C-alpha cells in the first residue's frame, strides 16, 4: 500500500506516552495478571474486537515491552493515521452518494501497553476494538507485530484491513445496525447471540472490501499483492482457524466472527460489488 508522505487523520488521539494512566486499574484483583488480560478480552470481545482469546488461552500471546515506544510503533502510528484518513474520505463519499447521509467519523486512540475505555480496560492482549458508546477505535501499535508474527497475517495491507474493519464497526454504529442487533442479542440465548455477532462481523468485513475497492479507485494506493494480503488476514483471523491453531475443538456454535472462508468471501463481496446494499449479511440464508 502506498501510504508514506500522504495525509494523516485529525481524529487520532495518541495516548502512547501516558503509560501511568491505568496503573490503578491494573491493581484490581481478578486472578492475577493473566486474569486481568482474560477479563479484558471477554469484555472487549463483546465490543467488536479481533478475538485473540484462543492465543491467550494457549499462553502464546507475547504482549511486548509494555509502554516502550519503538521506531516500529511510530511508523505504525503514521500508517494508521493515513489509513484512517482514507477511510474518512471514502465513507463520507459513500454516505453522501449511496445513503444520502453525512458521515461523522470515529476517533482512534493509539496506545501502547494498556489504556482505559468505556468498554473496559484495553491491553496489548486485547487486540484492536471499537467501543460504540465512545465512538472510538482502540489500537495498540504493537498489535501489527502480533498480526504478522503470531497470526501469520503479513503485509501492510493486512494491517490496513484490520483498521478498515474497526472503522466498519463505526459505520455500523452510524447506520444504527449495532444498536438494533445488540438489543436482540441481549434477550437471546448464547448460540443465537453468537450467530448475530457473526453477521455483524461479516458485514464489517464486507464494508472493508468496499473500502479497499474505493481506496484503489480514489487514491490509487493499492499495490500488487495488497488484496491477497487482506484476504490472507481475513483467513488467519477466522474463528475456525484461530480455534484450530490453539489446538481446540472447532465449534461453529461458538463462532463470533465467522469462519475463514466466510470472512474471505464477504471481504471479496464488498470488494467486487462495492455497495453497502451488497453487504446485508442479515438478509441472507447463506452466510
Ligand atoms: Zn469486528
Closest of 174, 22, 184, 198 to residue 88, by C-alpha: 174
What is the 3-state composition of the chain as percent helix, strand, coil, each rounded to the nearest 5?
A: 55, 10, 35
Q: Quick one: CA torsion of 204, 42, 252, 54, rounded to 10 degrees?
A: 100
Q: Beta strand 114-117 with 120-123: parallel, antiparallel or unpaired?
A: antiparallel
**Cα–Cα dist 252/173, whole Å:** 26
pLDDT-based confidence at residue 46 (cuts at 50, 70, 90): very low
End-to-end CA distance of the chain: 29
pLDDT of residue 74: 92
**Cα–Cα dist 37/171, whole Å:** 28
- For residue 1, tell me if it sits in a domain: no
Mean pLDDT of the 35-55 span? 47
**Cα–Cα dist 119/45, whole Å:** 10
- For residue 284, tell me if it sits in a domain: no
Distance between Cα 165 and ligand 1 center (Å) = 6
Residue 40 has pLDDT above 60, yes or no: no
Residues 188-208 pLDDT 10s: 999 999 999 999 999 999 999
Distance between Cα 59 and ligand 1 center (Å) = 23
Cell of 112: 501502547
Distance between Cα 202 and ligand 1 center (Å) = 8
Residue 162 has pLDDT above 90, yes or no: yes
Distance between Cα 116 and ligand 1 center (Å) = 19
- For residue 2, tell me if it sits in a domain: no
Share of the chain above pLDDT 90, in %: 70
Least confident window among 55-64, 107-116, 185-194? 55-64
pLDDT of residue 67: 60
- For residue 3, tell me if it sits in a domain: no
Residue 15 has pLDDT above 50, yes or no: yes
Which residues crowd ion ligand 1, with CB under 5 Å?
A: 48, 201, 204
- For residue 202, tell me if it sits in a domain: yes
Distance between Cα 195 and ligand 1 center (Å) = 13
Residue 122 belongs to domain spanning = 12-279
Contacts of 199 (CB under 8 A, 6+ apart): 181, 281, 282, 287
Q: What is the pTM of this model?
A: 0.86
pLDDT of residue 150: 85
**Cα–Cα dist 153/159, whole Å:** 8
Q: Is 34 exposed, middle or buried (0-12, 13-18, 19+ CB in 10 A)?
A: middle
Domains in the chain, number: 1
- For residue 286, tell me if it sits in a domain: no
pLDDT of residue 25: 33
Residue 35 has pLDDT above 80, yes or no: no
Amino acid at each position: 500500500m502506498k501510504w508514506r508522505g500522504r495525509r494523516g487523520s485529525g481524529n487520532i488521539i495518541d495516548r502512547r506516552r501516558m503509560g501511568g494512566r491505568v496503573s490503578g486499574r491494573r491493581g484490581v484483583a481478578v486472578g492475577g495478571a493473566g486474569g486481568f488480560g482474560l477479563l479484558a478480552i471477554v469484555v472487549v470481545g463483546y465490543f467488536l474486537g479481533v478475538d485473540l482469546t484462543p492465543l491467550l488461552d494457549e499462553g502464546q500471546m507475547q504482549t511486548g515491552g509494555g509502554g516502550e515506544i519503538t521506531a516500529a510503533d511510530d511508523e505504525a502510528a503514521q500508517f494508521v493515521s493515513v489509513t484512517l484518513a482514507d477511510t474518512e474520505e471514502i465513507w463520507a463519499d459513500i454516505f453522501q452518494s449511496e445513503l444520502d447521509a453525512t458521515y461523522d467519523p470515529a476517533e482512534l486512540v493509539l496506545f501502547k501497553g494498556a489504556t482505559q475505555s468505556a468498554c473496559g480496560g484495553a491491553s496489548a492482549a486485547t487486540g484492536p476494538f471499537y467501543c460504540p458508546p465512545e465512538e472510538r477505535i482502540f489500537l495498540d501499535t504493537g498489535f501489527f507485530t502480533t498480526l504478522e508474527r503470531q497470526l501469520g497475517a503479513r503485509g501492510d495491507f493486512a494491517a490496513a484491513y484490520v483498521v478498515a474493519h474497526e472503522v466498519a464497526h463505526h459505520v455500523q454504529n452510524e447506520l444504527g445496525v449495532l444498536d438494533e442487533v445488540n438489543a436482540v442479542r441481549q434477550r437471546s440465548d448464547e448460540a443465537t447471540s453468537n450467530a448475530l455477532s457473526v453477521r455483524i462481523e461479516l458485514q464489517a468485513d464486507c464494508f472493508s472490501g468496499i473500502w479497499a475497492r474505493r481506496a484503489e479507485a480514489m487514491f490509487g494506493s493499492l499495490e500488487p499483492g495488497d488484496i491477497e494480503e487482506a484476504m490472507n488476514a481475513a483467513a488467519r483471523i477466522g474463528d475456525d482457524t484461530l480455534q484450530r491453531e490453539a489446538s481446540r475443538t472447532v465449534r461453529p456454535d461458538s463462532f463470533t466472527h465467522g469462519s475463514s472462508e466466510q470472512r474471505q468471501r464477504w471481504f471479496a463481496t464488498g470488494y467486487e460489488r462495492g455497495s453497502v446494499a451488497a453487504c446485508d449479511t442479515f438478509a441472507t440464508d447463506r452466510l
